[in-house]
Structure 1
Amino acid sequence: MTEVFQESEDMTSADAPTEAPALLDLLFAGVLDCAAHVDRDCRYRAVNAAFLEFVGRPRHEVVGHAVRDILGEVVHQSCEQMIEQLRPGETLRREGWLDCGPRGMHYLGRAITALPVAGGVSGFIVILRDLTELHRQQQDIAERIEAQKASEAYHAAIIRTALDAVVVIDEAGIVVDFNPAAVSIFGYSREAAVGSQIADLIIPHALRSAHDTGMTSYLETGVSRVLGKRLELEALRVDGTQIPVELTIADVTLGAKRLFAAHLRDLTAVRAAQAEILRQGEALHQKDKLAALGSLLAGVAHELNNPLSIVIGQAMMLRERITEAATHQLAGEELAQRSAKIESAANRCAKIVRSFLDMARQRKTERQAVPLPHLVREALDLLKYNLHSSAVIVETDVAENLPSLWVDRDQLHQVLINLVINAHQALEEKREGKRRIHIAAEARTEDGVMLLSVSDNGPGIAPDIRSRIFDPYFTTKPQGFGTGIGLAVSRGLIEAHGGALDLDDRPGGGARFVIRLPLALGQHSGESTAPADTVPVPVVSNKRLLVVDDEADIADLLSDMAGQLGFNIVIADSGQSAIARLEQGDFSPTAILCDIHMPGGDGPGFYDWLQKARPELTTRIAFVTGDTLGPAAGRFLARCGCPVIEKPFTPQDIRRILHSLIVQDE
Structure 2
Amino acid sequence: MDASLFIAIVSLTLQFSTTVAMIVIARAPGWQRVRWFALVACSAGLYSLSDALGMVAPEQNSWWITRVNITLATIHTAGWVAYTYADRAGSWRSLSGRLRWWMIGGVLAATVVSVLGLTDHTELAARDILGRGGSAGGPILTPIGQSVVFIPLISILLSAVGQVGRARAGEEGAASVVVGFFFFTLFAVEEALVAAGMLDFIYLADLGYICVTLPVTMQLLRRFTRDAQRLDTLSTHLAEEVARRTQERDEARVNLIEQQRLASLGRLAAGVGHEINNPLQYLRFSLDELRESPIMASHEALRETLAHAFDGTERIRKVVDDLRTYVRPSDDALELLDVRDIVRTALRIGSPQWRHSVHVETRFDDAPHVRGDEGKLVQVVLNPLVNGAQSVLQAAESRTGVLCVSTRTGSDGWAEIEIADEGGGFEPDILSRLGEPYVTTKASRGGTGLGLFVSRGIVEAHGGTMHFRNAARSDGESAGAVVLIRLPAVSPRHATGRTPISTPLFVSDAHAPPLRVLMVEDDRAILSALTRGLEREGLLVHGVHSAAAALEWLEQDQPDVVVSDLMMPGMSGAEFANALAARHPALRRRLVIMTGGATTPDLEQFLADPSLMVLGKPIARQFLAEQLRKRAAASA
Which TM-score tier does this pair reach, normalised by the shorter chain? 0.3 to 0.5
Structure 1 length as normaliser, TM-score?
0.40
Q: Between Structure 1 and Structure 2, whose CA radius of gyration is higher?
A: 1
Larger RCO (CA within 8 A; separation ≥ 6): 2
Structure 2 length as normaliser, TM-score?
0.42
Q: Which structure has more strand as a fraction of its residues?
A: 1
Q: Which structure has more helix as a fraction of its residues?
A: 2
